[in-house]
Structure 1
Amino acid sequence: MNVIYLNHSGFLVETENKVLVFDYYSQGGRFDFFNPQHFIGKDIVFFVSHNHNDHFDARILDWAERVSYVVSDETRLSSDFQGEVLYVKPHEVYQFRGMEIETLLSNDEGVAFVVEADDKMIYHAGDLNWWHWNGESKEFNDEIAKSYQEEIQQIKGRQIDVAFVPADLRLEDKYCWATDYFMQEVGAAAVFPMHFWGRFDVCEMLKEKPYGDKIHNITKENQKFTF
């Protein structure tokens, strides 16, 4: 299995038969991360967790003749779009192109994904995160904690091979709470921080954690990891 960090929360996962691209983001075309011609003979599926522009790059629609799409329900594409699209809602399980796709409810927008493909289980959080802001009210932060914990509890006991979990340093000392809780309650063989806005040093910070041996050190865009 190969994992490529694209940018921000965007990752490509290549399994034996499939190429799964989560929350592709090219910063308005600044980065050119993907060419379907590099994956001849494989089934390519793009996942869109929600419609924020740092998670949904409309350039992915240009490849509709070659790829298919799994898109959160509130991210409706144009009615005349001709590509193959599965719209998904939170707390559902779908069978699509030989995969099982389970969705969680994001406490920001859209969904998180748990995808089983080619006997690999992949978790991509989208914007499901422990959004504890130091300047917010106790009521807000308590509700965020409750919503995050409830969603993660729904996948407790799963054998996750690869997890993509937010680690946003804008949350200051709380940047790691989402990863801490996920690793305590669920765990994964390999963990990739995301949504860190170019702060690659967050990977080294997380490697100091008790689960640090599971953290993969991202240092640049379009970086490839092979398992």
Structure 2
Amino acid sequence: MLSLFYMKVTHLYHSGCLIELEYHQLLFDYYQGELHLNNDKPLYVFVSHRHYDHYNPEIFQFNHPQITYILSNTLRHKHDAYYVDVHQTYQIDDLSISTLLSTDEGCAFLVHVENQTIYHAGDLNWWHWQGEPQADNDYQRNTYLQEIQSINEPIDLACVVVDIRQEKDYLLGLSAFLKHVQTKYILPIHYFDRYETTQLLLKETLDNPYHAKILPVIQQNQSFEIE
């Protein structure tokens, strides 16, 4: 019998985050940052793709008694891990994990555990870059919308790309996500060191029909407790 809803979310750095639930820990796209792991709860380590800012081989050196690795099949190593493909659903222990196609490389994750649903985008985003060929930007738009519109259930926590390097287009992905996916909490990711992004984001007037709460990330290793 599960106890009351509990979730502690720690923004580690860039797109890396640690989510601690009542009985599980989920680590997504660890790149760097200070990790405080609970050895009494199993640890599930997710990697969305092989880019250096989403994958650090140090994950295989973690000192924890019960680790399970769930890795995009863009990483083919001789490690004991589950290698996942896009547009698939996997049952791993008591986690149900579905994958979406990234608009860059690898996958995004949709994880069901402890009666909660958690989304981590990896590099799935509406990447629109000024000066790129129109066909490329059209592909980004169409693929992103197709993927997020395939999410047909409420999300408790969504880790969504908000990248200020896109300049005036930095909200394209988040705005579409807010419109199409019923979400309780949004953790913005893909910040690098650009924490001024949060200040800009909180001043924006967003079309937010489901009243998602955006967690204000202002520094590395910042935690939020959600009840």
TM-score of the aligned structures, taking structure 1 as reference length: 0.90
Query: Which residues in structure 2 correspond to 1:65-84 (within 5 Å)?
Result: 66-77=66-77, 79=78, 81=79, 83=80
Aligned to 1:113: 109
C-alpha deviations, 1:13-43, integer Å up to 9, x for none? 11110000000011xxxx4x2244xx12211
Letter in 2 for 1:111: C
Letter in 2 for 1:146: N
Question: Of residues 17, 22, 28 in structure 2, which corresponds to 1:22?
Answer: 28
Counterpart check, 1:34 vs 2:40: no
CA distance in 2 between counterparts of 1:59 and 1:141 reads 34
CA distance in 2 between counterparts of 1:34 and 1:86 reads 22
CA distance in 2 between counterparts of 1:172 and 1:93 reads 35
TM-score of the aligned structures, taking structure 2 as reference length: 0.90
Letter in 1 for 2:93: R
Displacement of 1:135: 1.3
Displacement of 1:192: 1.1
Residue 189 of structure 1: SS of its match in structure 2? strand
State the identity %.
39
RMSD: 1.4
Counterpart contact for 2:178–2:212, Cα < 8 Å: no
Counterpart contact for 1:45–1:68, Cα < 8 Å: yes
Displacement of 1:66: 3.3
- Structure 1 gaps of 5+ residues are none
Counterpart contact for 2:39–2:65, Cα < 8 Å: no
**Residues 134 and 187 of structure 1, relative CA distance in 2, 3 Å threshold:** farther
Displacement of 1:4: 0.2
Paired residues, what number? 215
Aligned to 1:146: 142
Displacement of 1:65: 5.2
CA distance in 2 between counterparts of 1:65 and 1:225 reads 25
Displacement of 1:68: 1.1
| Greater displacement, 173-182 / 194-203 | 194-203
Aligned to 2:4: none
Aligned to 1:43: 42
CA distance in 2 between counterparts of 1:170 and 1:40 reads 37
C-alpha deviations, 1:92-149, integer Å up to 9, x for none? 0000021000000001000000001111100000000101001112111111101111
CA distance in 2 between counterparts of 1:130 and 1:154 reads 15
CA distance in 2 between counterparts of 1:213 and 1:108 reads 26
- Structure 2 gaps of 5+ residues are 1-6
Displacement of 1:197: 2.0
CA distance in 2 between counterparts of 1:147 and 1:202 reads 25
Displacement of 1:76: 1.1
